[in-house]
Amino acid sequence: MDGPLIPDPGRFHDGGAMDGQPDLEAPPVILLRRDLADPPNEFRLMRRLGYRDRELGDLLVPADPEDFATDFASVPQVFGWLLPRTGTYLPAAILHDGLVGDPGQPASYISVEGHEVHWDEANRVFRDAMADSGTPIVRRWLLWTGVTLAVMAVGRQTDWSTALRWRWRITVVGTLLALTVLGLWTTADLLDIVGGVPWMGEGPLWTRLLTGAAGAIAIPLALAQLWGRFRVAGMITGTLLALLLHVTIAVLALTALYNAAEWLCHRAPWLAQVVAALIAITAGVIVIVSV
């Protein structure tokens, strides 16, 4: 599709009752049901959601109401501070879940007009639908990058050959590993633990920070060219990983600590109280000694 995308909220419409007909002129009605027997983050849709895609025509989800459940935007817990699971993009997220089935379900979604929609095409629909639902441009490209990483790593519900699936998997994993290693090496060089990072150079701290940041942008952009038609996702992924590597590690550590605390409180409440008391006493002793 040529030209910039012009957001059009009217593309979403009421898909009607599960056994009824859609109303193309009515706004969407999102009714959700939470079954306690389902996983904690999954909800059932009580009415279908309709969306008129620019290339595929009318899309109605879910195709199979009995098996459909949505968890909204599938954002890993560690990135929840940056991308909440829901927001203005809720209709687009539900639409995407309706287009991308779970393992064992049909390999693709068939649109009202008979178009076969694979996962990679569903991601494009997701991005356009986010624009139509009023999602800011940076956030929608970040979310699109996330689902693009998923399809490249998993490769199911696509029409890709086995060789192509492995190409994308190796590209994603190799890029992430390379950038992680380079990021840690650069950090160690900045702290004078090791040396030899070519783009860091010598000089005062501010110049090394500047050259390090430049490398964190230039190198991911270069590696992203290996991502072929997904190079934009590679640019976004690589740059974010390089610039937010330390933040991500810190949030991962805090997330692990939180999950451990929840597990301990659930499995051994008495031990959790003992650990909390020891931490409080230790902190108090450190403060007293420091004074």
Q: What pLDDT digit, counting tens, does each position of 232-250 carry?
A: 999 999 999 988 888 888 8
What's the pLDDT tens digit per position in 56-93?
999 999 888 888 888 888 877 767 778 888 889 999 99
Q: What pTM, to 2 d.p., does this model score?
A: 0.85
Half-sphere exposure (Cβ direction) of 250: Cα atoms closer than 13 Å: 5
pLDDT value of position 109: 80
Q: Where are the domains of the chain?
A: 9-154, 162-253
Checking if the pLDDT of 174 tops 90, the result is yes
Q: What is the dihedral of CA 264, 70, 247, 206, to 10 degrees?
A: -170
Task: Look at residue 35 and tell me whether its pLDDT is greater than 90.
Answer: no
Residue 7 has pLDDT above 80, yes or no: yes
What is the chain's mean pLDDT, rounded? Answer: 89
Question: At residue 66, what are phi and psi to the nearest 5 degrees?
Answer: -65, -40
Cis preceding-peptide flag for 62 (omega within 30 of 0): yes
Nearest by Cα to 122 from 110, 138, 105: 110
pLDDT per residue as tens digits for the range 105-161:
555 687 888 888 988 999 999 999 999 999 999 999 999 999 999 899 988 888 899
Nearest to 251 by CA among 81, 86, 84, 85: 81
How many Å apart are CA 145 and CA 147, to the nearest integer? 6
Task: Tell me the two tokens of residue 118.
Answer: 């694979």
Q: Whose CA is closest to 135, among 101, 100, 96?
A: 96
Instruction: Between 147 and 37, name the one with better pLDDT.
Output: 147
Across the chain, where does the E strand assignment appear?
Answer: 12-17, 32-33, 44-45, 47-53, 57-61, 109-110, 116-117
